[in-house]
Structure 1
């Protein structure tokens, strides 16, 4: 007992604290919030990390003869603008990008169809994630009538068939909200920078393809902490997530 006390005092004197003591229960206070599902949330995120491996994307650009990385980047930038104009939910944007990449990994697409794939993917993501769904006429109008409404609906069906109707995937947004909550004194400035960096990652093809969604989210949070000098840059609470 005396040895244990002396050891503990030595660690405190040297600035070495018990790691367990540094881990904050970020779900404390959510017990009465049914939407927070505090009793299940840890298991939910463990499951998300398990399924992000089989749901991860593959390097498909070499198999696409008519499109390239720059064209994809331009499309993603445009989709981000459309998402902002219609004030859609952030979950919708991240699922849209995932659907685009997943479809392109399964199907050869011409450059003429690339924007059509993006539009139909956003329509699908809106229906799945959003509280407000885009009208097909909205998409026809915003593209200056480049595609008729029937063509958008046909592409939407083709995407669903290729994906086998499987849209429940852990996108970076799923982990972003968790890591922001686990951060040191999160504020609006920090949140805005995290999402800004994450959206930059969406436009960067190698980042989207090479890294799992949880790692992209973690990198955005870590880079934000470092930029804003929020120490520690990666706390024990974040490590435990």
Structure 2
């Protein structure tokens, strides 16, 4: 009878048995691992070292040493003196040192860099996001407003107004002041937009800087400049007949229209210019807290500056606007006088504005006494907060400025 069980050959069985015996012999001959530097003696109370059969890390070794110190410190003194009262010694018990977390190299270098730059603490006067409330207002152009004002700053530098009075033999700064004062009065009579006034004065100064004008035509230049500005800014600009009437029929219609064309030709029809007004809107908004009293005071001081030729020719529109905000804050006793937010948005430091601010404050002091009172009459009105009646910041003139550097 044939069996289905397969028989393993004898040679194969012998080979398997030999391999098993060799493996067992090899395991018996293997030596146990000895101390290769990873074992440390543990100190116990008896002082005898004991072998530890587990690898010791650096932290675990430190822990063992610390425990040994604690055991020695906690051992009662009575045991050392055989039950007698322990005697006082001059030796003091060593205090346990608390391990301070180590600082990384990056932390150390960062701290040293801040200390070298004077940045040791957080600024007490952080820059405020003045556009946060207008994030959903599409007309505020929050996404582009910073770039727009950077362009304004660049444009005013490229097309800055030069000293032109020496090239006008028939004119002087006093005549110009009389003209600007009259134009401010006309602007108030017609109840025009503030943009129109600032653009009118800008057109007058730019035209006088490139064209000689006889004295008898100075008022004509002013009327024609206001006509151009109103056509550019106003929805319903005044008609030519209205300008003729308010100038007491000094010039006929044809002469006004001819001067209008002449001015536009000499200015190459370039009317999109950064006047002080565009900077005033931004800088007044950055003067926190913002209120109507502050706004009226800023515009009052700015228009006082517009009348004086020396202020216009020696300061850019942005600097005049920033100075008006600074002088207004001094007048209204705002603290701090100049904030980090204003410094950020205007680009001017306080010391850069003081000289011009002194001039504006001096104009404020004599506003009610001078012959040119158009600005004073405009801002003594309660509708403008009667800010012309506020006492001027005499301390700014006497002591040389505010408290902040």
TM-score range for the pair, normalised by the shorter chain length: over 0.9
Alignment partner of 1:77 is 2:181: yes
Question: Conserved in 1, the CA contact under 8 Å of 2:152 and 2:274?
Answer: yes
The alignment of Structure 1 onto Structure 2 pairs a total of residues equal to: 232
Q: Identify the residue that residue 144 of structure 2 maps to in structure 1.
A: 40
CA distance in 1: counterparts of 2:166 and 2:309, whole angstroms: 12
Q: Secondary structure at the match of 1:53?
A: helix
Question: Conserved in 2, the CA contact under 8 Å of 1:184 and 1:230?
Answer: no
Question: Taking structure 1 as the reference length, what is the TM-score of the superposition?
Answer: 0.92
1:100-119 alignment runs, 5 A limit: 100-119=204-223
Q: Give the counterpart of 1:190 among 279, 288, 294.
A: 294
Gap regions ≥5 residues in structure 2: 1-102, 346-405
Q: Identify the residue that residue 50 of structure 1 maps to in structure 2.
A: 154
Question: Conserved in 2, the CA contact under 8 Å of 1:96 and 1:121?
Answer: yes
Provide, for residues 144-165 of structure 1, a one-character-per-residue CA deviation record: whole Å limited to 9, x for no partner: 1110111110000000000000
1:17 Cα deviation after fit? 5.7
CA distance in 2: counterparts of 1:20 and 1:175, whole angstroms: 26
Gap regions ≥5 residues in structure 1: none
Q: Give the counterpart of 1:199 among 294, 303, 307.
A: 303
CA distance in 2: counterparts of 1:86 and 1:59, whole angstroms: 31
1:131 Cα deviation after fit? 2.3
1:21 Cα deviation after fit? 6.5
Q: Secondary structure at the match of 1:179?
A: helix
1:24 Cα deviation after fit? 0.5
CA distance in 2: counterparts of 1:19 and 1:88, whole angstroms: 43
Q: Identify the residue that residue 133 of structure 1 maps to in structure 2.
A: 237
Question: Conserved in 2, the CA contact under 8 Å of 1:88 and 1:132?
Answer: no
- Structure 1 moving runs of 4+ over 3 Å: 1-4
Q: Secondary structure at the match of 1:29?
A: helix
Q: Identify the residue that residue 272 of structure 2 maps to in structure 1.
A: 168
Alignment partner of 1:208 is 2:337: no
Q: Give the counterpart of 1:221 among 310, 313, 325.
A: 325
Question: Conserved in 1, the CA contact under 8 Å of 2:125 and 2:339?
Answer: no
1:132 Cα deviation after fit? 2.4
When Rg is computed on C-alpha atoms for both structures, the one with the higher figure is 2
Alignment partner of 1:97 is 2:197: no
Alignment partner of 1:237 is 2:355: no
Question: Conserved in 1, the CA contact under 8 Å of 2:170 and 2:215?
Answer: yes
1:20 Cα deviation after fit? 8.7
CA distance in 2: counterparts of 1:24 and 1:228, whole angstroms: 21
**Coordinate RMSD, CA, aligned:** 1.8
CA distance in 1: counterparts of 2:279 and 2:337, whole angstroms: 17
Provide, for residues 185-220 of structure 1, a one-character-per-residue CA deviation record: whole Å limited to 9, x for no partner: 121111111001000110010111111110000000
Q: Provide closer, same or farther for how the CA distance between residues 46 and 100 of structure 1 changes in structure 2, counting only shifts above 3 A.
A: same
Q: Secondary structure at the match of 2:200?
A: helix
Question: Taking structure 2 as the reference length, what is the TM-score of the superposition?
Answer: 0.55
